[in-house]
Amino acid sequence: MRALIFNSGVGRRLGAFTRAHPKALLRLPDGESIFARQLRLLGAAGVDDIVVTTGPFPEQLADVAAGMGAPVRFVPNPDFATTNYLVSFALARPLVDGDDLLLLHGDLVFEGGVAPGLLADPRPDLVAVDATAPLPDKDFTAIVEDGIVRRIAVGAHGPGAVACQPLYKLSRRALVVWLDAVDALVAQGRTDVYAEDALNAVARTAAIRPFSHAGLLLAEIDDMADLARVGAALQRRAG
């Protein structure tokens, strides 16, 4: 199984740390970085080919992967400071096109059961949601209609809205549909939007369904408050 991790963001909300390090190298309470934890848990789930997009300080990510012996290939985004990860997705296409894919953001922290559960689900195209969680203001919300995710956006509310995290399982069919929409936006010069903006334009064709991770930790780290909250949750669960 192949995975694509977006690690090309600057992470400005993390202040001094990301002026010298990639966001994904933030340390969790046990001392493990977000990136190392992702590589470890993906490997345990049977993911044997990992593609990582990079922005600032790519050599630090490469050092971590090499130290773990992880099967990682890197795709730099030279314009990381002025483009969104939509562009990183387009740049990674030659390495991920034509195969099923796990896709996730580099600031996601998740429990060990999340990736195996996603992979074991017989449905081919999924995104992680939690209908039991409060709707977030700064993170993604998915709008679900008739069992299909029709829209993913920050702060989207209304009927069918559920909290959503950017962890996807995609068949090669859905991946091509999404990538074609990504390439179309890049060709139009719309490089400052989320990759989900492209997905929303083809949501009916992609036909991605919600996968519930309720009861399992899966959260993004955008700022130091998130790090404290997620770190505390990890410590409680370890205990």
Per-residue model confidence as pLDDT tens digits over 199-212? 999 999 999 999 99
**HSE toward the beta carbon, residue 173, CA cutoff 13 A:** 10
CA angle 72, 75, 80 (to 5 degrees): 135
Q: In the block, which residue shows the tokens 């955008």? A: 222
Q: CA 91 to CA 63: how far, in whole Å? A: 22
- CATH code of the domain in which 200 resides: 3.90.550.10
**Tell me: the pLDDT tens digits for 37-53?**
999 999 999 999 999 99
Please give the tally of structural domains in the chain: 1
13-17, 70-74, 154-158, range with greatest mean pLDDT? 70-74
- Encoding tokens for residue 6? 């977006």
Domain residues for 31? 2-238
Q: What was the pLDDT predicted at 221?
A: 96
Q: What is the mean pLDDT of residues 221-227?
A: 94
pLDDT, mean over the chain: 96
Q: What was the pLDDT predicted at 239?
A: 52
**Tell me: the pLDDT tens digits for 49-107?**
999 999 999 999 999 999 999 999 999 999 999 999 999 999 999 999 989 999 999 99
Q: What is the mean pLDDT of residues 123-135?
A: 97
